[in-house]
Amino acid sequence: MLFPTTSSRQTPPRVVITGAGIVTALGLGWKPNAEGFRTGRTAFRPVSLFDVSRLRAKHAAEVDLPATLPPTRLSAKQSARLDRAASLLLLATDEAWQQSGWEPAENLPLVLGTTAGGMSLGESYFRQAVQRPDHRRHQATRAVYYQPQVQARMILAALGSNGPITIVSNACASGSNAIGHAWELIRFGQTDRVLAGGYDALSELVFVGFDALQALSTTICRPFDAHRDGLALGEGAAVVALETLESARRRGADILGELVGYGTSIDQHHLTQPHPQGSTTLMVMKQACETAGITPENVDYINAHGTGTVLNDSSEALAISEWAGRRAATLPVSSTKANIGHLLGAAGAVEAVVCLMTLREQWLPPEKLFETPDPACKFPIVQKPRDARLNVVLSNSFGFGGVNASLILRRCV
């Protein structure tokens, strides 16, 4: 029962990550992404998925999808119904699943964050309904598979599993919120393991929307740079396998990292603009630290939300500077959106996996095109590839609508 709960745990269990899958424009899977983030490679190119000739911005970080998806329990007909977003999600899930070593189960919770779900199917539906109103072919299928909960069911089916599905849609904080929610489900005693993550594919509606807002960079995406002029969009997915430390140890699983802190709240300042002083950002970072039982002194790296927009980065920089206090002067910060763009509903999950990479492999992801720090930055931006001793890292994600989230991950040795 979801209510009343039957948990008898006195103290929340420790929650670890035993599988991680990632798909971005840097590549499919952990290895090419780790190499890309470690060296600071950027993955932007002219948009090929739709016409951008009438728009200000022309570039994005598109994923090269493989010709065939990995073999799963989906039939050929089912696989053919996966749109671009669901394909990204399947690739990331398959990697996390293989790495975790989990067996198919009838009660495997899946928590996903997305902003657009199967938007490409929705766009196709709309175009056909408007341009060929008497033509009904494929419309019923599009109307069903457009919905993120149906895509999530397909993913569970691909794994030969079933279980409760939760879809979180808090805009660009969705991926972090999904992982945070999964973490709470385990700590609250509702389950011992959860698959969680985020996904979003590039879509015409969203690209045009950010272009209309003049939020897209027409040069290069340079988070926290004084001369930044906007964000760049990307696409991708990331999924993590979360379970109790006890369960992971019992199985002898390879532990990639521990999720130790989570904070979330809502900024009521504006639908699309953060509070200029970053007050909610500050709050969620403090919350995450409280739940983790640490202070800023313990944090070795921040993977910032860092979109590259003027308003976000100055607000976040103020919040990080205030939160970190004296620690700020030596606290390395970077935004991997400089490499792969803003992945919207996938961003928080992808960046959580990047944090796992940094903990696992002990390096810092640089922003190689960063030049001049914003005056609000009291912290150093990682500009060159370098190794580092990392034990605790923090990831920020903020969304349209104002939901903010911070995750804290710790190395497991």
Partner 1 sequence: MSRIFVAGLGAVSPAGWNVAALRGALDKGEPLPTQLLERPGWNKPFSVRLVPNPAVRPEFLAHPRLRRTSPITHYVVATALEATATVCATRIAQFRLGLVVCLQSGCVNYSCRFYDETLKDPATASPLVFPETVYAAPASHLAAVLENVSLASTLVGDPAAFLQGVSLGAQWLEENRVDACLVIGAEETNWILADALWHLERSAILTAGAGALCLCRDSKLSAGVELAAITDGHTYSTQNGRSQAARAMRRQLGAPASCRPKPSQGNEDLAGKMPALPELLCDGVGNNPRAAAPELDAWRDWTGPRICPKRILGEGLMAAAAWQCVAACDAVAGGRFAAANISLVGSNQQAMGARFVRADSHISHLSLGHPTGNIRS
166, 277, 295, 362: residue in contact with partner 1 (rule CB under 8 A): 166
Place of tokens 């269990």: 13
Q: Vertex 73, ends 72 and 79: CA angle to 5°?
A: 70
Residue ranges in 262-281 that form contacts with partner 1 under rule CB under 8 A? 264-266, 268, 271-272
Catalytic residue among 59, 275, 305, 355: 305
CB of 340 to partner 1, least distance (A): 21
33, 115, 334, 358: residue in contact with partner 1 (rule CB under 8 A): 115
Among the residue ranges 111-119, 321-329, 361-369, 385-393, the one whose residues contact partner 1 (CB under 8 A): 111-119
Burial class (CB within 10 angstroms; exposed 0-12, middle 13-18, buried 19+) of 128: middle
Catalytic residue among 221, 289, 342, 377: 342
The string over 366-379, giving b where at least 16 C-beta atoms fall within 10 Å of a residue's C-beta and e elsewhere, is bbebbeebbebbbb
63, 171, 195, 356: residue in contact with partner 1 (rule CB under 8 A): 171
Q: Which is nearer to partner 1, 169 or 396 (CB)?
A: 169
Tell me the per-residue interface mask from 388 to 407 with partner 1, x by CB under 8 A, - otherwise.
-----------xxxxx----
342 is catalytic: yes
CB of 123 to partner 1, least distance (A): 7
**100, 316, 401, 412 from 305: Cα distances, Å:** 27, 8, 15, 24
CB of 87 to partner 1, least distance (A): 20
305 is catalytic: yes
Q: Which is nearer to partner 1, 126 or 386 (CB)?
A: 126
What distance in Å separates the CA atoms of residue 90 and residue 413, rounded to the nearest whole number?
30
Residue ranges in 203-262 that form contacts with partner 1 under rule CB under 8 A? 204-205, 208-214
For residue 39, state whether it binds partner 1 (rule: CB under 8 A): no
CB of 265 to partner 1, least distance (A): 6
42, 93, 169, 303: residue in contact with partner 1 (rule CB under 8 A): 169
CA atoms within 13 A of residue 359's CA, in its CB half-sphere: 27
Among the residue ranges 13-21, 141-149, 310-318, 372-380, the one whose residues contact partner 1 (CB under 8 A): 141-149
The separation between CA 52 and the C-alpha centre of its own chain, rounded to angstroms, equals 25
* Coil vs helix vs strand at 339: helix
CB of 300 to partner 1, least distance (A): 28
The separation between CA 135 and the C-alpha centre of its own chain, rounded to angstroms, equals 37
Q: Which is nearer to partner 1, 307 or 334 (CB)?
A: 307
How many amino acids of this chain bind partner 1 (CB under 8 A)?
A: 67
Q: Which is nearer to partner 1, 69 or 150 (CB)?
A: 150
**What residues have CB less than 8 Å from 11, skipping those under 6 apart?**
none
* Coil vs helix vs strand at 193: strand
Place of tokens 């996904």: 199
172 is catalytic: yes
E strand map for 152-192:
165-168
Does residue 337 contact residue 221 with C-beta atoms inside 8 Å? yes
What distance in Å separates the CA atoms of residue 166 and residue 355, rounded to the nearest whole number?
24
E strand map for 43-182:
45-46, 59-60, 110-113, 165-168
Catalytic residue among 172, 221, 355, 377: 172
For residue 168, state whether it binds partner 1 (rule: CB under 8 A): yes
Dihedrals phi, psi of 245, to nearest 5 degrees:
-60, -40
* Beta strands at 165-168 and 110-113: parallel, antiparallel or unpaired: parallel
For residue 157, state whether it binds partner 1 (rule: CB under 8 A): yes
For residue 149, state whether it binds partner 1 (rule: CB under 8 A): yes
What distance in Å separates the CA atoms of residue 194 and residue 240, rounded to the nearest whole number?
8
64, 143, 227, 251: residue in contact with partner 1 (rule CB under 8 A): 143
Q: Which is nearer to partner 1, 219 or 268 (CB)?
A: 268
The residues annotated with a catalytic role in the active site are: 172, 305, 342
Binding footprint of partner 1 on the chain (CB under 8 A)? 1-5, 51-52, 54-55, 114-115, 117, 122-123, 125-127, 129-130, 133-134, 136, 139-140, 143-144, 147-150, 153, 156-157, 162-171, 177, 181, 184, 188, 204-205, 208-214, 264-266, 268, 271-272, 399-403
